[in-house]
Amino acid sequence: MKEGEIYTFKIFRYDSFEPEKPPSFQTFKVRVVPGLTVLMVLLRIRDEIDGTLSFRSSCRSAVCGSCAMVINGKIDLACRTQVYKFEDRTIVLEPLPNMEIIKDLVVDMTPFWSAYEKVKPYLMRFSPSPEKEIPQSEEERKRIDQFVNCILCACCYGACPVVSRDPDYLGPHAFAKLERFFSDSRDERPPEELIHLDNVHGLWGCDTVLKCIEACPKDVRPTDSIVSLRKRLLKYRILGKR
Amino acid sequence: MLRHEVIIVGGGLAGLRAAIELCDKYDVALISKVYPLRSHSVAAQGGINAALGNNPEGRDDSWEKHMFDTVKGSDFLADQNAVEIMCKDAPRAIYELEHWGCPFSRFPDGSIAQRPFGGAGFPRTCYSADLTGHVLLHTLFERAISKRLKVYSEWYVLSLVSDGSMCHGIVAFDLIRGEIVPILAKATLFATGGYGRVYYYSTNALINTGSGIGIAYKAGVPLKDMEFVQFHPTGLVGTNILMTEACRGEGGYLINRLGERFMERYAPKAMELAPRDIVSRSIQREIEEGRGFDHPLGKCVHLDLRHLGEKKIMERLPGIRRICLDFLGIDPVYEPIPVMPCQHYSMGGIDTNEKAETPLSGFFAAGECACVSVHGANRLGGNSLLETVVFGRIASHSIEAYLSERDVKPDEKLLEEERKKVEKKIERLTGGGKEKPAKIQLELSKIMSQYVGIFRTKDELEFALGKILEAKERYRSVGISSKKKHMNYELMSALELEFMLEVAHTIALGAYLREESRGAHFRRDKEERDDSKWLKHTVMTIDREGNPSVSYKDVVITRYPPEERAY
């Protein structure tokens, strides 16, 4: 195995600037050694074989969220996916679903980011700030941990069946982010913020089929956030408070 | 042509921090070559320094002690007026981030947790597990969203427009649409990050080409102290992904093939928590003298966390564990981590003063692309995140002062001329040249890692300089595969390579000329620090022929005169 084995990569090609040309798969053969990731293969193809291949990348260490794509049918980050873990020597790479394709593996993430911005993803406080830090117990900090870990890579958004049938649905990432703030002991957002989400494009759209949890490379559980936000919404409707 | 009062280039911590302060008062736009959350700031792991005194072991900490550690860590090359500003402002900066929602890890009393870090006399590094850069970047971006900051995402800067004394804006490239767009601005801030990818072994993101530094240099702005390149002691073997200093801050050991904690030989008091330049050299020596391990992916030593136990690793270093599992298939709870020193940080950069001002009026720089200098010859861990938020904010104040003191009238004609030049350049790159940009970049990076690395000699540096000049020559015949401009990453690489070559040239030349060893610059042929001749900053400006012209500048010493640096 040290010498490396030849893998066949079938990569989705399409250019939205030339819509008359139908999408196609282009085949590349690459020698793979252990440790080589899908992203490294893509970089090698662009550097050495075909300079016109388009894909996003940045940190190459699974923290920036640039390189989410479909790898042999499964959504993941290309940078953290080891090639040699696939028994099948053919690897198919496709762009993330649920978004328009700009070119090859690059999709237009505008709807993803707009949904994220819609939930007001920032700490809201109305009390005057103390001179030092706002105290927070270790327990309270732990409560937001999994949602803090979200890197907004859009793996969940690409995997979500509701986004695929309802483009107005906000998407799992937006709710994970909102819950990160609602469950932060320092946040003072008014519960009225939930009223905009009291509909089928919001909190009631989710099928709770857990595709987002399955797709997340960071062990975030967006479905949990949706369930929690639904409870918050019901509590507000019944009791009129947060 | 677009027009804004202020243009900020770079969506990492320094750029966002400046934008947040300015966008209430001015028409500000931020351009970023990646969506801002993909900036390399996100990859910072271990923490951010401030003398809060929250740690029970660190109650007596003070900004003066932080300043002293920073100055000593810099091997006395940092400008002490700037270090004082940074260390004094650090607690305010941390509380501000916390008030904006930054989820720092906490101590049992509810205060921000602080851990020990290299070269620091007190545990003063605030953190969020080992994802500190991620939480800081998200916090500042969230803040920017709340202020509806205008962001041009996936736009590259290609040129800084100057008339020789004043900056008029930039020429940018919209990657998605493939359009060259001049952006007229009264004030321009570069927060474009470091140049890690000039090196073959680097912990840095693929986007860290240092092109911002090269663009400023080409526009006539001086660069400072480029020879000072930080090599992080612990990059994962193979991928060179960073294994945070917090691994050692939390108690991890460095072990050689003989099972020795070899740091005892090099820094008997500080051991694994000596500053990075010292630990990197120690590891390199162990490897060179045959006491390293032969991993299939390269020579290395072991970073051993096993004695910390599963609970501590899962709580404090979960990201490290994840990276080890994903990229090497090992679990640091049960196995030591194979590590090697890798390029990590650029101490040098665009020459700025303590107000983030450059000699070019209307042009400012902050963060890793700038050299203030607060890090001198060697940066302490936890000080880079601090520098971004402190000097990002200071840059915003300086820009405000600049705009309120005069009526700035940038000239559209200059921008149009520059746009034409850029278009010509792109035409040449798509004109059928035979040299592949990726090949030149690969060879350049190998030369830099091999000959302008941790240990340097005059002869090797001379050789490297020759190779860099050769690469510059070859660059004239670079050609790319497609004339289409949209989503053409190969075109971007080719454009950036021009600036990477300049950056590499200034690093190698600075190192060749500096005949002493100081901080991260270690010359095997001149192993001692020489304050009588070299207690000064290297400054390089491009001359009319496109060659670097070198001068030197005094170091600002206010409180701590140079002394022997032992740990």
Q: Does A137 sit behind a cis peptide bond, omega within 30 degrees of 0 on the bond before it?
A: no
Residues 6+ apart with CB under 8 A from A3: A33
Phi, psi (degrees; rounded to nearest 5) at A27: -100, 135
For residue range B289-347, list pLDDT tens digits in order.
999 999 999 999 999 999 999 999 999 999 999 999 999 999 999 999 999 999 999 99
B257 vs B338: CA distance, rounded Å: 11
Are the Cβ atoms of B42 and A64 closer than 8 angstroms?
yes
Is B314's Cβ below 8 Å from some Cβ in A? no
Instruction: Indicate the residue among B292, B316, B341 that finishes a domain.
Output: B341
Residues 6+ apart with CB under 8 A from A128: none
A229 vs B130: CA distance, rounded Å: 28
Q: Which residues pair with A8 in a beta bridge?
A: A29, A90
Q: Which residues pair with B299 in a beta bridge?
A: B294
B453 vs B342: CA distance, rounded Å: 9
For residue range B161-207, list pLDDT tens digits in order.
999 999 999 999 999 999 999 999 999 999 999 999 999 999 999 99
Are the Cβ atoms of A58 and B134 closer than 8 angstroms?
no
Residue B551 in domain = no
Is B244's Cβ below 8 Å from some Cβ in A? no
Are the Cβ atoms of B323 and A62 closer than 8 angstroms?
yes
Confidence of residue B6 (pLDDT cuts 50, 70, 90): very high
Residue B494 in domain = yes
CB distance B129 to B113 below 8 Å: no
CA B408 vs. chain centroid, Å, equals: 31
Q: What is the CA radius of gyration of chain A?
A: 21
Is B92's Cβ below 8 Å from some Cβ in A? no
Question: What pLDDT, on a 0 to 100 scale, did the predictor assign at position A3?
Answer: 64
Instruction: Indicate the residue among B314, B341, B368 that finishes a domain.
Output: B341
Q: Is the dihedral of CA B465, B467, B470, B472 positive or negative?
A: negative
Q: Chain A: residue nearest B38 by CA? A: A64
CATH number of the domain enclosing B431: 1.20.58.100
For residue range B260-282, list pLDDT tens digits in order.
999 999 999 999 999 999 999 99
Q: Which residues pair with A94 in a beta bridge?
A: A70
Mean model confidence pLDDT for chain B: 97
Question: What pLDDT, on a 0 to 100 scale, did the predictor assign at position A1?
Answer: 43
Are the Cβ atoms of A59 and B38 closer than 8 angstroms?
yes
Q: Chain A: residue nearest B488 by CA? A: A52
Closest CA to A67 of A95, A35, A98: A95
Identify whether B276 is a catalytic site residue: yes
Residues recorded for chain B? 567
Residue B35 in domain = no
Closest CA to B453 of B232, B204, B205, B209: B232
Most A-contacting residue of B48, B105, B106 (CB-CB within 10 A), to test interface: B106
B350 vs B215: CA distance, rounded Å: 10
CB distance B90 to B49 below 8 Å: yes
Question: What pLDDT, on a 0 to 100 scale, did the predictor assign at position A106?
Answer: 98
Question: What pLDDT, on a 0 to 100 scale, did the predictor assign at position A34?
Answer: 84
Question: What pLDDT, on a 0 to 100 scale, did the predictor assign at position A231?
Answer: 96
Q: Domains in chain A, start-ordered, CATH in brackets?
A: 5-107 (3.10.20.30), 110-239 (1.10.1060.10)
Residues 6+ apart with CB under 8 A from B352: B358, B364, B365, B366, B370, B371, B372
CB distance B372 to B384 below 8 Å: no
Tell whether pTM > 0.95: yes
User: Is the domain of B337 the same as that of B430?
Assistant: no
- Say if residue B254 is exposed, middle or buried (CB neighbours under 10 Å; 0-12, 13-18, 19+): buried
Phi, psi (degrees; rounded to nearest 5) at B532: -65, -35
For residue range B194-223, list pLDDT tens digits in order.
999 999 999 999 999 999 999 999 999 999
Residues B38, B115, B124, B276: which is the catalytic one?
Answer: B276
Residue that the structure tokens 């203030």 belong to: B372
CB contacts of A58 in chain B (<8 Å) are: 34, 38-40, 205-207
Is A17's Cβ below 8 Å from some Cβ in B? yes
Give the helix/strand (H/E) hosting B174. Answer: strand B167-174
CB contacts of B52 in chain A (<8 Å) are: 132
Angle between helices B63-73 and B80-99 (to 10 degrees): 120
Rounded to a whole number of angstroms, the distance from the CA of B146 to the nearest CA of chain A is 7
Residue B298 in domain = yes
Residue B109 in domain = no
B456 vs B515: CA distance, rounded Å: 10
Q: What is the CA radius of gyration of chain B?
A: 22
* Stretches in chain A below the pLDDT threshold 50: 1
Are the Cβ atoms of A122 and B43 closer than 8 angstroms?
no
How many domains would you assign to chain B? 2
Q: Is the dihedral of CA A57, A62, A66, A70 positive or negative?
A: positive
Residue B315 in domain = yes
ipTM metric: 0.97
Residue B185 in domain = no
Q: Chain A: residue nearest B205 by CA? A: A59
Mapped onto helix, strand or coil, the DSSP state of residue A69 is strand
Residue B221 in domain = no
Q: Which residues pair with B8 in a beta bridge?
A: B30, B189
Instruction: Indicate the residue among B307, B341, B375 that finishes a domain.
Output: B341
Which residue range is the domain that position B432 belongs to?
Answer: 426-533
For residue range B104-121, list pLDDT tens digits in order.
999 999 999 999 999 999
Mapped onto helix, strand or coil, the DSSP state of residue B462 is helix
Most A-contacting residue of B154, B327, B434, B439 (CB-CB within 10 A), to test interface: B327
Mapped onto helix, strand or coil, the DSSP state of residue A92 is strand
